[in-house]
Amino acid sequence: MLFRLRWAFIGFLRRRFPKLERVLWIQVRQNKATLRVEKTTIFTARAMTILLLSLDHLGDFLLALPAISKLRAKYPYAAIDIVVGSWNVPLAEATGLFRAIYSFDFFAKKSSVAPKVQEAELNALLEQLGIYDIAIDMRRHGETRFFLARIQAGLKVGYQSFDKAIDAELHCVLPSFLNISHKVTPMNKTHTAEQKLALIDALPPDPNDFVRLPVLGQTQAARPGYVAIFPKAGNSVRDWEEPRFIELVTLLSHEETVAAITVYFASEQEAAAWVQVPTDKIQIRAGLAFPEFLSSVSQHSVCVANNSGGGHLAAYLGATVIAIYSGHVTVEEWAPPFGETYVIHRNAACAPCYHPDCALDLSCMRDIPVDFVFTKVMEAVQRKMPIIA
């Protein structure tokens, strides 16, 4: 509270004694924080690849379905493959949960027959499987863990096999108990379906878990070189000055790789105050109904915005967003979290101020130069250009 009162008092002095402005401005510039660019992405469609081993019998596979369905829910965008005994291929196909289904008969179809490894068949299958982000052996008993140990995966998850050499090859080893005749262990008191669920629960948490973002409506394919601009934030303390946006748009319009620029406004009244840049590349859109707004924004591969809904929407739709933030709120709390998003800001000591006006005339925004933003936008435009062989 005392800190905020101090800044309010400085603002009062500046208004009451204008000659103090230069002294105060020098003081602010001496104390200003470094210009920062932060990637703020949290939510992305993680295109992970996951391999499951379920080499056991019909009943075992059925008991694994709750765990597999939870895995699918946890990673809604992942490609999940599975290796099953040949007798379970039709059932695996019927679930519709898997990208690819591989057959490997380690066990015999009749459970009383001892398992065996055909090394040539195993090596041939391993060559087909390739590399995965995650591999999980769904069986609690350790006989199949040798297979998991030989798979190429960034994270290998399975129950303890009690073979030190094999367990050392795994990244996440769940504790287990050996089956001993006439002795009840904690595993014997835990249903097999729940044992399999524990494998999924052991996977490291991430904010994207169980998140599948809904489609908002009819959209268009994003076009390289199309840049969306949102120069208004609905609150003056969040706005990078309009003349700076006009200068930025002018610079962008001179770039060959920038094919089109759309400047968005909430109303015709806002748009009327915009100083037109004389070029055919620029289109002004104002007061669009949501379906048309959604369709229009979706065709842009890059977006520049203040702290506003337009930046969040463009990020949600997959555009690379360059956002310019004042110290009105913190970047950590309000930055666009979707897609590929970056925030340019000063790490202002007075943030968050939450005030309707700024005692320092938004020095945190005025210290963000146009040429710096232009460079970052062009870097984003170039990244989105198609690669010509």
pLDDT for residue 330? 81
Answer yes or no: are the C-beta atoms of 377 and 301 closer than 8 Å. Answer: no
pLDDT for residue 159? 96
pLDDT for residue 23? 36
Q: Is 268 exposed, middle or buried (0-12, 13-18, 19+ CB in 10 A)?
A: exposed
Dist. CA 266–CA 286, nearest whole Å: 6
pLDDT for residue 6? 41
Instruction: Kindly list the strands in the beta sheet with 131-137, ordered across the sheet, starting from the edge strand earlier in the chain.
Output: 100-103, 79-84, 49-54, 131-137, 152-159, 172-174
Domain ranges in the chain are 32-43+215-383, 49-201
pLDDT for residue 202? 96
Q: Which superfamily does CATH assign the domain made up of 49-201 to?
A: Glycogen Phosphorylase B; (3.40.50.2000)
Dist. CA 44–CA 336, nearest whole Å: 12
Walk along the chain (389 residues) and give the pLDDT tens digit of each residue.
433 344 344 444 444 544 443 333 333 343 445 788 999 999 998 899 999 999 988 889 999 999 999 999 999 999 999 999 999 999 999 999 999 999 999 876 666 666 777 788 889 999 999 899 999 999 999 999 999 999 999 999 999 999 999 999 999 999 988 887 888 888 778 899 999 999 999 999 999 999 999 999 999 999 999 999 999 987 778 888 889 999 999 999 999 999 999 999 999 998 988 888 888 999 999 999 999 999 999 999 999 999 889 999 999 999 999 999 887 788 888 899 999 999 999 877 677 877 777 667 677 777 899 999 999 999 999 998 886 54
DSSP 359: T
CATH code for the domain defined by 32-43+215-383: 3.40.50.2000
pLDDT for residue 185? 84
